[in-house]
A and B are shown apart, each in its own frame.
Chain A
Amino acid sequence: MTQAIRNQRKPDVLSSGPVPEDVSIRFDKVYKAFGTKKVLNGLSLDVKRGEALILMGPSGTGKSVTLRHAIGLLTQDSGDVWVEGHDMARITAPELFNLRKRMGYLFQEGALINWMSVADNVALPLVENSDLSPSEVEQRVREKLDLVHLEGVWSEMPSEISGGMKKRVGLARALITEPELILYDEPNAGLDPEISQSINHLIREVSDTLGITSMVITHMVSCVRTVADRVVLLDEGKVIVDAAPDDFLNHDHPRLRRFLGQDPD
């Protein structure tokens, strides 16, 4: 199975090395099942360096699973996942360690360490893996918490703040190392419209920084409008629409029209 899929790889890709220079993340006919439940069914997708790509799709279709492959939390059953020139199925532990230092990941539920305060959570990557002094760390934590509109929140525990706040703390933690490659799993789910829009602008600003690549899962059209360079629709573990944001929103693919809640006629 694996071999058959590998052999089908396009010849131009083979001749130009594993992945072209300008591709940051490549999914190549990726299959993934949990037990008998097939989730990814031959997903192929390139994310160009510097691009902000939005992933949309019905609930349970494998968007989070896709994102987890890109950071090595899951490994595909067959097909290839390439991230920054690394074959994720064969990456060594030190390579993965270094690659992840260049990446940021916002978990769908925030995934804050429940026995550490908000500030300690945001500071964690710097405290563990950098030589910054405590005052520099504090400075940076304050900066990032301000960015996500959590100025006054500092010593609260994760259990004491709302779901939307957890999400934003998670975002601050993902941004604090100033990563080059950021994966956002529903950054604006559960936020009020005002904060949601300002988070969209924040993501757009971050991705406008030179060379930063973003993958964003969202259910919100407002996020597509503000953030996206390109949008793909995932359904049943495959890409079914891949377009620029304007084309995407006006695309006449029946599955997409149904997904966006507008019947074709």
Chain B
Amino acid sequence: MQIFPGFTNFARSLGAQGVLFFQVLARLHHIPKRRAFVSAQLYGAGNKVLHVVLLVSFVMGMVLSLQTGLVLADYGQQDQVGIVVAVTMAREMGPFITAIILSATVGSALAAEIGTMAVSDELSALEVLSVDKISFIVMPRVVALILMAPVLTIFADTMGIVGGGFVARSQLGVSAPLYYDSALESLRQLGGLVAVPKDVYGGLMKSMVFGGVVAIISCAEGLRTRGGALGVGDATRTAVRDSIIAIIIVNYFITWFLYQN
């Protein structure tokens, strides 16, 4: 019985997010006019999360290296640890860590910011002034997040591999040149439209989609906000929760799409 309101609510937000996605698409040609907003978002939000991404991915790389290194060592294969860390970071962990961090920091802030605008009549003011709020508020934020996510992912991939290298040398006795050679070797296979390693390319595609998903969900929740500070709290919580769920589900489908054969 309790589950049904949850599901109708879920369907309703999914609908709102879908509509918002197409509304944003239809306003992409406003990017030149809004470029100041886009770059303000990029700079503002990017600055606030970069250190988090660096730290978390560094430690994640260490954990990855240690866990897989110990298993590989059982078979005397610890020299291969660089390959595992590099491929896992590029394909999965880099984009995923970045997306989760973006949703918890930038996404929650988006929902709170837009939610506050909704409850303090600022969105009504835009409406009354005949200012298109999708073009004015949502589109620049969505574009900024889609651009920001892959850049942060490259940092995450790099830091993860470096973190793994530390552990490989200190805990597994794999020399740095050996580790980095094998790591880079594994990413040598190029693919995609531009000449980047196929695994990195796939990961960056993923992270752009994740960035868009986080931005759309967070903005949609912000726009729907009603009822004062409590409503803003609600919007923020829902935005982060739904973004994380969506990232995990979407991740499966993109992975399946990119690596099915």
B57 at the interface (CB under 8 A from A): no
- Given A111-B122, A112-B122, A114-B122 in contact, is the A103-B128 Cβ separation under 8 Å? yes
A113 close to B127 (CB less than 8 A): no
Residues in chain B near residue A97, CB distance under 8 A: 130
Tell me the nearest residue of chain B to A104, going by C-beta. B128
B128 close to A113 (CB less than 8 A): no
Tell me the nearest residue of chain A to B131, going by C-beta. A128
Residues in chain A near residue B113, CB distance under 8 A: 115
B189 at the interface (CB under 8 A from A): no
| Cα distance A105–B125 in the bound complex, in angstroms | 8
| Cα distance A112–B123 in the bound complex, in angstroms | 10
A212 at the interface (CB under 8 A from B): no
Q: Mark A118-150, 1 if CB is under 8 A from B, else 0.
A: 000000110011000000000000000000000
- Given A71-B128, A129-B130 in contact, is the A109-B121 Cβ separation under 8 Å? yes
Q: Give the residues from 78 to 133 in chain B that come closer than 8 angstroms, CB to CB, to chain A.
A: 113, 116-117, 120-122, 124-131
A128 close to B130 (CB less than 8 A): yes
B126 close to A114 (CB less than 8 A): no
Q: How large is the interface on A (under 10, 10 to 19, 20 to 34, 35 or more residues)?
A: 20 to 34
Q: Give the residues from 48 to 106 in chain A that come closer than 8 angstroms, CB to CB, to chain B.
A: 68, 71, 73, 97, 100-101, 103, 105
A31 at the interface (CB under 8 A from B): no
Residues in chain B near residue A184, CB distance under 8 A: none
Residues in chain B near residue A103, CB distance under 8 A: 128
Q: Mark A161-172, 1 if CB is under 8 A from B, else 0.
A: 000000000000
Residues in chain A near residue B121, CB distance under 8 A: 107-109, 111
Residues in chain B near residue A71, CB distance under 8 A: 128
Tell me the nearest residue of chain A to B126, going by C-beta. A113
B129 close to A100 (CB less than 8 A): yes
A114 close to B116 (CB less than 8 A): yes
| Cα distance A105–B124 in the bound complex, in angstroms | 10
B117 close to A73 (CB less than 8 A): no
Residues in chain B near residue A107, CB distance under 8 A: 121, 124-125
| Cα distance A111–B130 in the bound complex, in angstroms | 14
A73 close to B120 (CB less than 8 A): no
Q: Give the residues from 120 to 164 in chain B that come closer than 8 angstroms, CB to CB, to chain A.
A: 120-122, 124-131, 136
Binding site for B on A (CB under 8 A): 68, 71, 73, 97, 100-101, 103, 105, 107-109, 111-115, 124-125, 128-129, 173
Pairs across A and B, CB under 8 Å, 29 listed:
A71-B128, A73-B124, A73-B127, A73-B128, A100-B127, A100-B129, A100-B130, A101-B130, A107-B124, A109-B120, A111-B120, A111-B121, A111-B125, A112-B125, A113-B117, A114-B116, A114-B117, A115-B113, A124-B129, A124-B131, A125-B129, A125-B130, A125-B131, A128-B129, A128-B131, A128-B136, A129-B129, A129-B130, A129-B131
